[in-house]
Structure 1
Amino acid sequence: MIQLTLAALFFIGIHFLIAGTRWRDRLVARYGERVYRIGFSSLSVLGLFWLIYAYRHAPYIETWGQLAWFKPVAALLMLVAFILAVTGVTTLNPTAVNGESRLYEAEPARGILRVTRHPFLWGVGLWAIVHLIANGDAAALVLFGSLLLLTIGGTRSIDAKRQRRFGEQWAKFTAVTSNIPFNAIREGRNQLKLAEIGWWRIALALLLYLGMMHFHTQLFGVSPLF
């Protein structure tokens, strides 16, 4: 558990203490955007591999244990997580690397961005909390808890970074979008348009979801339904 805890602290630390902070701005100013991205991406990949390795070798220490009644709920929530993540990663987004050009469009918040400006991170966050609850052991609490913390904090970090860099253009984008899903729609600052999301994206998410449900037992040794 010590190695898993250290890996989690490292992975969270490089994101919270560098990415999205003024340290990032200083590093970019000194070394350039390309060098910074290569360096930070390398650290992130290293941290992720360390986290996975440490989790796979962590001892099983039961907390609340696996909850059989939660599995059908988890299956439904994971479908939502897949839709958010897949539509998010396949939609040009000003919050993503090289997606800044969308800020200058007449209507930058389209498709899934009408629901939330951070669809991919919310999908990962939902995946993390589902697995945190479903596994019910200390190692899962550290792994998925750290990923959940990272996704929630990541949305704020990205917003702060984009605000410093794009100022007024970013303010216009946030005026018609929300971090929390459906909040902008609920407040009347935007409206849901399912056709804009792209039915092919939803179909792709469903296909990947069904594939994961089918192979989950073979890949992870645990049935997602029984």
Structure 2
Amino acid sequence: MELLSDWGEFIAAFVVFFVSHSIPTRPAVKSRIVALIGPIGFTLAYSALSTAILTWIIVAAGRAPYVEIWGWEPWQNHVPLTAMYFATLIFTMTLCRPNPLSFGGCNNDRFDPDNPGLIGWIRHPLLVTLLIWSLAHMVPNGDLAHVIVFGLFAAFSILGMRIIDKRARRILGADEWQRLSNTKRSFKFTRSGIMRFALGTAIYLALLYLHEPVIGISPLP
């Protein structure tokens, strides 16, 4: 009972996370929500819910019993500091862009495989963002609770890419999926892209500022 009490919040946070990610994405449930708030509203609400629960999981991991797997060194802090800037840019440069090959896209019927933007390089940008976040944060957090958190999310990201590819291939048809996934890998500076780049930088700075008051740990060396 004492062990369950010590790890209770940590376990509860994970249960809530997986329930919140399995029910809203079911076709019947998602279609009803989208009918009420629209596809963009669903994406924003789903992202906000995911962020809130993810924050709870991280806080719960910090409160869980400390079991060291590897020690901390000052250089380790630079890994998430650097990686998260790129992860934030990937997120802002691709969120709500046409992308029928993954989730998080908007106006997917407008997707052009000859002009896909960053999605031409990264088919599942939100899952790649989660993967970068997971692996980067695992480096300076070598205790059992955090290794479980970041390890599971890394595995969730990789598995999710395979599941979404399989589902999209089934829904779109093999030929159409192949046509859409055979994207042109190019990069152009556009007004929208520059604005998204600036937004990503601003969000990254905000995350640095809010990390200590929200998570309880300063991300700076």
TM-score (norm. length: structure 1): 0.70
- Higher relative CO (Cα under 8 Å, sequence separation at least 6) belongs to 1
Aligned to 1:164: 170
* Aligned partner (choices 140, 145, 151) of residue 151 of structure 2: 145
Contact 1:82 1:123 in 2 (8 A): yes
Given the superposition, is the C-alpha separation of residues 165 and 125 from structure 1 closer, same or farther in structure 2, using an over 3 Å criterion?
same
Aligned to 1:185: none
Aligned to 1:183: none
Deviations 1:33-62 (A, max 9, x none): 636989xx7xx96xx478457535421222
Given the superposition, is the C-alpha separation of residues 156 and 9 from structure 1 closer, same or farther in structure 2, using an over 3 Å criterion?
farther
Q: RMSD over aligned Cα, in angstroms?
A: 3.4
Given the superposition, is the C-alpha separation of residues 146 and 99 from structure 1 closer, same or farther in structure 2, using an over 3 Å criterion?
same
Q: Distance in 2 between matches of 1:91 and 1:98?
A: 5
Determine whether 1:208 maps to 2:215. Answer: no
Q: Distance in 2 between matches of 1:71 and 1:160?
A: 36
* Aligned partner (choices 147, 157, 160) of residue 154 of structure 1: 160
Q: Percent identity?
A: 26
Instruction: State how many pairs are aligned.
Output: 198
Aligned to 2:43: none
Aligned to 1:192: 186
Deviations 1:183-219 (A, max 9, x none): xxxxxxx332142571111111100101111232222
Aligned to 1:128: 134
Aligned to 2:182: 175
Instruction: Give, as a single letter, the amino acid of the residue that structure 1 aligns with 2:139.
Output: I
* Aligned partner (choices 212, 218, 221) of residue 217 of structure 1: 212
Given the superposition, is the C-alpha separation of residues 32 and 208 from structure 1 closer, same or farther in structure 2, using an over 3 Å criterion?
closer
Aligned to 2:99: 93
Given the superposition, is the C-alpha separation of residues 135 and 36 from structure 1 closer, same or farther in structure 2, using an over 3 Å criterion?
same
Given the superposition, is the C-alpha separation of residues 194 and 65 from structure 1 closer, same or farther in structure 2, using an over 3 Å criterion?
farther
Given the superposition, is the C-alpha separation of residues 99 and 136 from structure 1 closer, same or farther in structure 2, using an over 3 Å criterion?
same
Q: Secondary structure at the match of 1:195?
A: coil
Given the superposition, is the C-alpha separation of residues 10 and 212 from structure 1 closer, same or farther in structure 2, using an over 3 Å criterion?
closer
Q: Distance in 2 between matches of 1:200 and 1:83?
A: 11
Unaligned residue ranges in structure 2 (runs of 5+) = 1-5, 37-45
Matches within 5 A, 1:4-153: 4=10, 8=14, 34=31, 48=53, 51=57, 54-94=60-100, 95-96=102-103, 99=106, 101-102=108-109, 105-107=111-113, 110-153=116-159
Unaligned residue ranges in structure 1 (runs of 5+) = 177-189
Given the superposition, is the C-alpha separation of residues 5 and 146 from structure 1 closer, same or farther in structure 2, using an over 3 Å criterion?
farther
Aligned to 2:42: none
Given the superposition, is the C-alpha separation of residues 194 and 63 from structure 1 closer, same or farther in structure 2, using an over 3 Å criterion?
farther
TM-score (norm. length: structure 2): 0.72
